Amino acid sequence: NAGVTQTPKFQVLKTGQSMTLQCAQDMNHNSMYWYRQDPGMGLRLIYYSASEGTTDKGEVPNGYNVSRLNKREFSLRLESAAPSQTSVYFCASSEPGNHWGYGYTFGSGTRLTVV
Amino acid sequence: EDKVVQSPLSLVVHEGDTVTLNCSYEVTNFRSLLWYKQEKKAPTFLFMLTSSGIEKKSGRLSSILDKKELFSILNITATQTGDSAIYLCAVEPSNSGYALNFGKGTSLLVTP
């Protein structure tokens, strides 16, 4: 039972390069999320998808785009990476309903460094 | 704007000490508050609190919620070095599909 799978686990980019972080879940969850985590900043929401076919901006969306490819997959794209995007990125999923926060499942994270 | 504020931001204690971590919130349409432990990887779930005054307990960890004063505390008794981690507080709004709103976390270091 894989849960939430993120790829890659580590990545180094040069400033200006682009890349896509992949996230897939096998729990049939409707909602998916992308967070970034910087030292001392907790988890900040970049984008979320409440259900297949919808996406919305979170707290820190600038410099990112997302695609909810299907119910399982939610990708995060950096079009022109900047050093300020050096961070650890977490994907998560949940099922809307009663106390959906209880079933929040995180991926193992992607450590991205932009030089 | 919704806010979740944790204090202290960092804490160093000796093994055997008792610690209290705080989380206050200003969130519209509050439904529940969750605590997570994070050790250099993804956060792991500790507690979910929905009702005021009811303590949740798991071993040496316990937590309680005060919905009138809008805060929660996480207590860890007889701390061990394995308790060293970042402790995250998150609030669940009642809108289904909306994201958890996290605080900045408390970094706890337990020294031998």
pLDDT tens, position by position, B78-98: 999 999 999 999 998 776 567
Instruction: Give CA–CA dist A87/A37, Å, rounded.
Output: 6
- A53 reaches B (C-beta below 8 A): no
Instruction: Give CA–CA dist A32/A3, Å, rounded.
Output: 12
How much is the pLDDT for A32?
A: 93
DSSP output for B8-57: -SEEEEETT--EEEEEEEE-TTEEEEEEEEESSSS-EEEEEE-STTPPEE
Among A30, A58, A102, beta carbon nearest to B99: A58
- B1 reaches A (C-beta below 8 A): no
Higher local confidence (pLDDT), A20 or B99: A20
- Within 10 angstroms of residue A54's Cβ, the number of other Cβ atoms is 12
pLDDT tens, position by position, A1-45: 679 999 999 999 999 999 999 999 998 988 899 999 998 888 999
Q: Which residue has the tokens 């009138």?
A: B68
Q: Do B42 and A31 touch (CB under 8 A)?
A: no
| Beta carbons of B100 and B31 less than 8 angstroms apart | no
Smallest CA–CA separation between A108 and chain B, in Å?
5
Residue of B nearest to A103 (CA): B45
pLDDT tens, position by position, B24-36: 998 878 888 999 9
User: Which of B51, B45, B92, B90 has its CA nearest to residue A97?
Assistant: B92
Q: Which residues of B touch A108 (CB under 8 A)?
A: 41-42
pLDDT tens, position by position, A52-96: 999 999 999 999 999 999 999 999 999 999 999 999 999 999 886
Q: Do A40 and B104 touch (CB under 8 A)?
A: yes
How much is the pLDDT for A98?
A: 56
Q: Which residues of A touch B31 (CB under 8 A)?
A: 99, 101
Query: 3-state DSSP call for residue A3?
Result: coil
Instruction: Give CA–CA dist A30/A68, Å, rounded.
Output: 11
Smallest CA–CA separation between A109 and chain B, in Å?
7
Torsion angle, alpha carbons of B40, B1, B96, A52, to 10: -80
How much is the pLDDT for A25?
A: 95
**What residue type is A62 in one-letter code?**
N
